[in-house]
């Protein structure tokens, strides 16, 4: 437990390699608990080792399918590994675990936009904004929406994302 806290501290400080080094002292990877596996996945993800991160994250989602943080991290890694289909699948599983979490719906909107699924992207974005209007502030600066940014339905949905300062 103490080693896990040290690893969490290193991750918070942006020192993922040190976190991995500490976690290596916890024990054998085959017998690691869910928290250790999650921290390993997060450290590998922070290092840009997305394929490697998917191994411990996959074990977390199998052992604890309600862990939306592991599902979100899994989706994030799949996206960066060029597998939007698997990223979407991971977030769909997260949605089953927590259907009221707007971050899941927002990220699904992003991934569907990139995958060419305009209808799905708009549906998930509308749901995310309905659950938490604060996500409106992220839309203008989110490059994942570039494929649908010029779409009239997208623009209509996002009305109100610009402030008076943005129009000048």
41 plus 94 within the same structural domain: yes
CATH number at residue 69: 1.25.40.10
Range(s) of the domain holding residue 34: 1-99
Arithmetic mean of pLDDT, 155-168: 58
7 plus 40 within the same structural domain: yes
Quick check: is 24 in a domain? yes
88 plus 109 within the same structural domain: no
The pLDDT of residue 168: 35
Task: Establish how many alpha carbons lie within 13 A of residue 48's alpha carbon, considering only the half-sphere containing its beta carbon.
Answer: 0
93 plus 32 within the same structural domain: yes
4 plus 76 within the same structural domain: yes
Instruction: List Cα–Cα distances, 152 to 38, 140, 156, in angstroms.
Output: 40, 15, 6
For residues 19, 64, 72, 35, the Cα torsion angle rounded to the nearest 10 degrees is -10
Query: Of 60, 77, 99, which residue sits at a domain end?
Result: 99
Quick check: is 72 in a domain? yes
Query: Of 52, 81, 99, which residue sits at a domain end?
Result: 99
What confidence tens digit (pLDDT) does each residue in 14-34 have? 999 999 999 998 877 677 899
Arithmetic mean of pLDDT, 7-19: 95
The pLDDT of residue 19: 95
What is the number of structural domains in the chain? 2
What confidence tens digit (pLDDT) does each residue in 77-96 have? 999 999 999 999 999 999 99
Q: Please report where in the chains the tokens 């997260």 appear, as a residue.
A: 94
The pLDDT of residue 26: 84
Contact 48, 79 (CB under 8 A): no
Quick check: is 31 in a domain? yes
Quick check: is 168 in a domain? no
Is the pLDDT confidence value at 163 over 80? no
Query: Of 46, 68, 99, which residue sits at a domain end?
Result: 99
Contact 57, 94 (CB under 8 A): no
Furthest C-alpha separation in the chain = 58
67 plus 120 within the same structural domain: no
């Amino acid at each position: 437990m103490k080693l896990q806290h040290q690893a969490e501290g290193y991750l918070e400080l942006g020192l993922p390699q040190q976190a991995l080094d500490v976690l290596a002292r916890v024990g054998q990877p085959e017998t690691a608990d869910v928290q250790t596996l999650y921290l390993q996945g997060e450290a590998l993800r922070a290092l840009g080792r997305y394929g490697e991160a998917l191994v411990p994250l996959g074990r977390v989602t199998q052992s604890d399918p309600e862990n939306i943080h592991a599902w979100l991290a899994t989706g994030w890694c799949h996206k960066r590994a060029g597998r939007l289909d698997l990223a979407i699948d991971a977030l769909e599983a997260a949605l089953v675990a927590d259907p009221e979490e707007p971050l899941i719906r927002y990220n699904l909107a992003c991934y569907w936009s990139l995958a060419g699924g305009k209808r799905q992207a708009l549906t998930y974005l509308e749901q995310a904004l309905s659950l938490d209007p604060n996500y409106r502030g992220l839309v203008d600066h989110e490059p994942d929406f570039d494929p649908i940014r010029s779409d009239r339905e997208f623009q209509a949905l996002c009305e109100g994302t610009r402030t008076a300062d943005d129009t000048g």
